[in-house]
Amino acid sequence: MNSSATTKTTAVLVALIIVVAVVAGVGGYFAGQSAGYDAGYKAGYDKGVMAGGAKAYEKGKSEGYKAGYETGYKEGLKAGKPKGPTLPDKIKIGSLMCLSGFLGPMGQKIKLGVELAVKEINRKGGIAGRPVELIVEDTATDPKTALEAFKKLVEVDGCKVVIGPMASPEVMAIGKYANERKVVVISPTATSPKITTEFPDDYIFRTVGSDALQGKALADTALKKGFTKIATLVLNNPYGIGIEEKAKEVLGDKIVLSIRYDPTKMDFRTELSQIKDAGVEAVIYVGWYEDGQVMFRQALEMGLDNIQWIAAEGVYGEPMFKVADAAEFMKRAVIGTRPIAPTGLITYKLFAESFKKEYGKAPTMYQDTAYDATMLAALAIAYAGQYDGAKIKDALQYVSQYYIGATGHKMFDKNGDQLTQFYEIWKVEKVDGKYKFVGIGRWP
């Protein structure tokens, strides 16, 4: 990331934090119904200022936000009403999730984020008074299955908006069909830069940053630690290759060995021998849970825990600890990056509270982006006032300019990508005999 871009993003963020209250009025605002925001914000602000004192002010502001946020949503979702007759009685939102296969364990969790959003929307009276019906299909972490499931959602259920699919190859597989059938696709997790280049300016959106950014984050982390001899070991798919290419752009000659591997093979000894023999100081690694567990176990066995592994978010998550060897290896040798929301977002706090209330535990990675994707979809349908793919697509671009969700300002660029994305740098610790992830820094 060059410095002018950094300044620009920082500027945007500062501006956003200032106008957060405005944006808290999300739906209401853009629908020209700022009443909700006004009322909420004013109430909070007045309360805070009247009471005097910084603490009370903070509290008041927070309550104000909350009220404004709530009202804003309500108004925003109601906004479709004037144009209402063109919306169907039940509004279908489709979702493609990896409920089985490589990303199965992750998909089962991410689905909860989508479901939470739908529940909230319906509790607030649905979109313009019409309930949202969520239809989830399993892609089995397989592009072909994803396309079949997508066709089912589009042709059988008549969905015009689909949340997902999760994996980049799956998004690549359905992209063309989505464009042909004018169906809006919002992936909360697919991070490959290839999605941008293959499907610019069309129906494919995502609420997570492209790995063009994560590749930089990983490379910067390696640079900061002063490594000069680095290997890349990545999944041979758009996700892995996207990050590998970005990291190479940044690190150049410092990368002395690049391996792309097949996650189904599960016999990685010779790949790992190669890394060992190359004598590198660090490995930039991109994998998923299932292959990651085996990779780390075999890496431990090969004695590769004496070099620094820097991993992308694919291996971030509790399921990694199911394999004792893999967990131990991560503790000894792995740090990594993962996309997160900017710190201190009230919107994230609100989301986390709601999540906890619903499921009894704190949200984890990508449940927030899934939630945001679903909320954006609902708001876009409301704003479009019609259940029509092309209209919803335009509305989505517009709505995103004003939406601050659980993971922050979700404005799309013209390619449907996030303008900004933050990453946490994590490592693994063992506390009281239990492994856990802890944050040790941020990027940028």
Partner 1 sequence: MVVVNWLQVLFNSAVTGSLYLLAAVGLTLTYGLTRFPNFAHAEFMALGAYAGYTIAEQLKLGFPYSFIAAFISSAALGAASYLLVFRPLTHRGATIIHLMVASIGLDFFVRHLIKQVWGGEQLSFRMVWPYFDVGPVRITGLWVALILSAIVMVGVMHIVLTRTRLGKAIRASANNPDLAMASGVDVEKIALVVWIVGAALAGVGGLFRAADTRLVPLIGWEILLPAFAVVILGGIGSFYGALIAAYVIGLAENFGVVFLVMFKLSTDYKFAIAFLILILTLILKPSGFGRLFGEGGKVV
Closest distance to partner 1 from the beta carbon of 437 (Å):
19
Q: Which of 90, 225, 265, 356 binds partner 1 (CB under 8 A)?
A: 265
Nearest to 148 by CA among 121, 123, 177, 181: 177
CB 404 within 8 A of CB 351: no
Q: Which of residues 212-251 bind partner 1 (CB under 8 A)?
A: 236
Position 342 contacts partner 1 (CB under 8 A) = no
Q: Is 287 in the site for partner 1 (CB under 8 A)?
A: no
- Binding of partner 1 by 279 (CB under 8 A): yes
Amino acid at 437: F
Q: Which stretch binds partner 1 (CB under 8 A): 90-98, 270-278, 347-355, 390-398?
A: 270-278
442 binding partner 1? (CB under 8 A): no
Q: Which is nearer to partner 1, 211 or 271 (CB)?
A: 271
Q: Does 395 bind partner 1 (CB under 8 A)?
A: no
Contact 14, 421 (CB under 8 A): no
Applying CB under 8 A, the site for partner 1 has a residue count of 35
Q: Which lies closer to partner 1 via its Cβ, residue 24 or residue 259?
A: 259
Distances in Å between the Cα of 166 and the Cα atoms of 172, 195, 383 are 11, 12, 26
Q: Is 432 in the site for partner 1 (CB under 8 A)?
A: no
Tell me the closest approach of the beta carbon of residue 76 to partner 1, in angstroms: 39
Distance CA 189, CA 114 (A): 12
Asked whether position 294 contacts partner 1 by CB under 8 A, the answer is: yes
Considering the rule CB under 8 A, would residue 430 count as an interface residue with partner 1? no
Distances (CA, A) of 191 to 165, 227, 239, 264, 377: 11, 25, 6, 21, 19
**Residue type for position 417:** D
Report residue 335 as tokens.
Answer: 């740090």
The label of the residue with tokens 């804003």 reads: 72
Q: How far is the CB of 277 from partner 1 (least distance, A)?
A: 4
- Residue 225: how many CB atoms within 10 A of its CB? 12
Which residues are within 8 A (CB) of 388 and not within 5 positions of it... i.e. 6 or more apart?
160
Hey, how many other C-beta atoms are within 10 angstroms of the C-beta on 436? Answer: 14
Q: What is the DSSP letter of 264?
A: T
Interaction between residue 317 and partner 1 (CB under 8 A): no
Q: Which stretch binds partner 1 (CB under 8 A): 37-45, 97-105, 337-345, 395-403?
A: 97-105
Residue 200 engages partner 1 in binding (rule: CB under 8 A): no
| Interface map 56-85 toward partner 1 (x if CB under 8 A) | ------------------------------
Nearest to partner 1 of 151, 269 (CB atom)? 269
Burial class of residue 361 in the structure, from the number of CB atoms within 10 Å of its CB (0-12 exposed, 13-18 middle, 19+ buried): exposed
Nearer to partner 1, 37 or 329 (CB): 329
Q: What residues contact residue 76 under an 8 Å CB cut-off, 6+ apart?
A: 25, 26, 27, 28, 29, 30, 31, 33, 379, 382, 383
The C-alpha atoms of residue 393 and residue 163 are separated, in whole angstroms, by 13
The span of 162-170, 182-190, 323-331, 426-434 binding partner 1 (CB under 8 A) equals 323-331
- With CB under 8 A as the contact rule, the residue among 75, 120, 290, 424 that binds partner 1 is 290
By CB under 8 A, tell whether 301 contacts partner 1: yes
Interface with partner 1 in residues 100-129 (CB under 8 A): 100, 104-105
In contact, 233 and 259? CB cutoff 8 Å = yes
Residues contributing to the site for partner 1 (CB under 8 A): 100, 104-105, 236, 257-262, 264-267, 269-271, 273-274, 276-279, 290, 293-294, 298, 301-303, 322-325, 328
